[in-house]
Amino acid sequence: MPPGEARPVVSDIAARLERLPMSGYQRRIFAIIASAWLVDQIDVALLTFLLGSIVVAFGLSPTEAGQLAAMTFAGQLVGNIIAGTASDRFGRKAVFQVTMVVWGLASLAAAAAWSLPVLMACRFLIGVGVGGEAPVAQAMVSEIVPAPVRGKYIAILEGFWAVGYVLSGAISFFVLPYLGWRWAFVVVGLLALVVLVVRRAMPESPRWLAEAGRHAEAEAVMATMERAVVRATGRPLPPVTPQIAASVAPGAPAPRLSAVATLFAPGYRLRTVMAFGLWFFALIGFFGLNSWIAVLLKERGFSIVGSVGFVTLITLGGIPGFATAALLLERIGRKPTTALFLVCAAAAAYLYGNAAGETWLFVSGFVMQFFMFGMWSCLYAYTPELYPTRARATGAGFASAFGRIGAILGPMIVPVLVRDYGPATAFQVGAGGFLIAAALVLTLGVETRGKVLEAVSH
């Protein structure tokens, strides 16, 4: 079909998606994506709680421990780029399935690792799978959920990171003393196999199918969704309003660019600079802190199991954090909410690093996790909205990949700073990263709250 004829099909699918009321059907699709995301995050967070035991088991130096932590982020960088671009080319559903197979099998293999190089290779593959899933999940949720609640649902999706972090700590807390660190990897690997079966029920994105020129398939999936929403609500579908029709109407014809080239086209260039910088500085702060937080607690006199329990408890602060972010993203907008959580995370990180006693250590740590996990919700809600369907997962993947560079550097820089200047320095570096990220959002960011995706990308 010629490009001029294809655009009305794309606009029609977008308009029909946006007019759908949020129902139990879309929530079931969301639950499928979220369940996989939850188990992913359990696996990513696992090393935070197991690192102390692994250091003892393999006799690792601080530098080797930092390199092991960095391997997960190196894998995520590769997965972000490969799966993001593959998802824009081959579709959301197939790539989503492959990513889970990769990290699930790698987690089981990590349980049998007999040396540091083998364990590093397994953590790299876990990172590839988990990192690959992130941009696909963001794109899928943003393309199915209607604009008025889109930010809230993506923020809730990312909130499963906080739940996964807590569950990862709980698994480690109960498994470590009795079975050892290897069995924690086994438990997570088996969870991945269970979720893989559930995930098969997820449909392909009709927005992507229409954009890819697969119009018959897009119509079939769209019709199935419409029938399912009618059954779920028990009411006829509302008509496409003039406002929705106008917001998804095709703009002036433009040269057809590749997904990667689109990121740097004049209309998206500043968004890309902002998104890449936001992810880089936010993640250098977050992972610079969290990859070493249990080790730093151990240096303050906590046992391995005691430090795991302490980190698990303060991480509970992340659950109300992402819930609050989900509310504010739709109430006051993406830019102010993202900047607010970054600035408050910086302040809390500084206070945590300078806390005197265990009480203040817990209070400041709880508040720090509240804002840091809320920050994650903002990043994942905001990024996929910045790009058109043909480059949405690619943009989210590349931005996340820049974040992984920060995540790699953070755990490697922190031990050097801790050695030379003391543990509080790690938290000062984290605070600085958050403040730079906030400045980028405020100066270069665009507001996307309540706007249909096609309107944002015109």
| pLDDT grade for 251, boundaries at 50, 70 and 90 | low
- In this model, does residue 349 exceed pLDDT 60? yes
- In this model, does residue 211 exceed pLDDT 50? yes
The pTM score is 0.79
Measured CA to CA in angstroms, residue 422 lies from 60, 152, 355 at distances of 20, 39, 13
89-98, 288-297, 421-430, range with greatest mean pLDDT? 89-98
* The pLDDT value given to residue 43: 77
**What is the secondary structure of 261-284 as a DSSP string?**
HHHTSTTTHHHHHHHHHHHHHHHH
Kindly give the residue spans of alpha helices, DSSP state H, lying in 22-61: 24-58
What is the sign of the dihedral through the CA atoms of 173, 174, 175 and 179? positive
Distance CA 85, CA 214 (A): 18
Q: Are 448 and 392 in contact (CB under 8 A)?
A: no
* The pLDDT value given to residue 6: 46
Q: Which of 154, 68, 81, 75 is nearest to 400 (CA)?
A: 81
The DSSP 8-state label assigned to residue 20 in this structure reads: S
- In this model, does residue 37 exceed pLDDT 60? yes
